[in-house]
């Protein structure tokens, strides 16, 4: 399986990455090399094999539901590129 420019643009949109026209050929080439590399997995017969969905050895590590704020507002906002006293600021979404 290989991907074309249109598919690449679609994935880039899903991943919220701007893909400049001049970068697409190189990226397409790299992506197809990576895909050809992982394609090999299709050779493996996995009939009847359940997917391994977690690597954790723990099953339901439960704890009391106590209110323990981890970061206060000031700290949570400390790294924001744009903020006011209470909120993160982003470009206007609704007119």
Partner 1 sequence: MLKAYATFAQIQHDLHSKKITCTALVKHYLANIESKKHLNVFLSVYADEALARAAVIDEKINRGNAGKLAGLVVGLKDVLCYENHPLQASSKILDGFVSQFNATAVQRLLDADAIIIGRQNCDEFAMGSSNENSAFGPTLNDIDNTRVPGGSSGGSAVAVMADMCQVSLGSDTGGSVRQPAAFCGIVGLKPTYSRISRHGLIAYGSSFDCIGIFSKNIEDAALVLEVIAGADEYDSTVSQTPVPAFSSLLSAASEKKYRIAYMRDTLQSPALQPEIKTAIEKSLDQLKLDGHSVAGIEFPLNEYVLPTYYILATAEASSNLSRYDGVRYGYRSPNTTDLESMYKKTRAEGFGKEVQRRILLGTYVLSASYYDAYYNQAQKVRRLIREKLKELLKEYDFIITPTTPTTAFKLGEHSTNPVEMYLADLFSVQANVAGLPAISLPLGTDKIGLPMGVQVMADDFEETKLFHFSKQLMNLA
Binding site for partner 1 (CB under 8 A): 1, 3, 7-8, 11-12, 14-20, 27, 30-31, 33-35, 37-44, 46, 49-58, 61, 63, 70-71, 75-76, 78-82, 88, 90-93
Task: For residue 68, give every residue at least 6 positions away whose Cβ sits within 8 Å of its Cβ, in sequence order, or none.
Answer: none
- Measured from the CB of residue 84, what is the shortest distance to partner 1 in angstroms? 13
Residue with smaller CB distance to partner 1, 85 or 90: 90
- Measured from the CB of residue 40, what is the shortest distance to partner 1 in angstroms? 5
What is the SS3 assignment for 30-75? Answer: HHHHHHHHHHHHHHCCCCCCCCCCCCCCCCCCCCCCCCCCCCCHHH
- Measured from the CB of residue 10, what is the shortest distance to partner 1 in angstroms? 8
Residue with smaller CB distance to partner 1, 40 or 85: 40
Q: Assign residue 9 a region (left: φ > 0; alpha: ψ between -120 and 50; beta: otherwise).
A: alpha
């Amino acid at each position: 399986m290989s991907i074309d420019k249109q598919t690449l643009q679609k994935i880039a949109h899903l991943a919220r990455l701007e893909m400049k026209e001049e970068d697409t050929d190189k990226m397409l080439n790299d992506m197809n090399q990576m895909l050809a590399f992982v394609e090999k997995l299709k050779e493996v017969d996995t009939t009847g094999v359940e997917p391994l969905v977690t690597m954790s050895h723990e099953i339901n590590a439960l704890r009391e539901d106590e209110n323990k704020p981890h970061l206060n507002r000031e700290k949570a906002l400390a790294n924001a590129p744009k903020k006011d006293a209470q909120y993160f600021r982003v470009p206007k979404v609704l007119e």
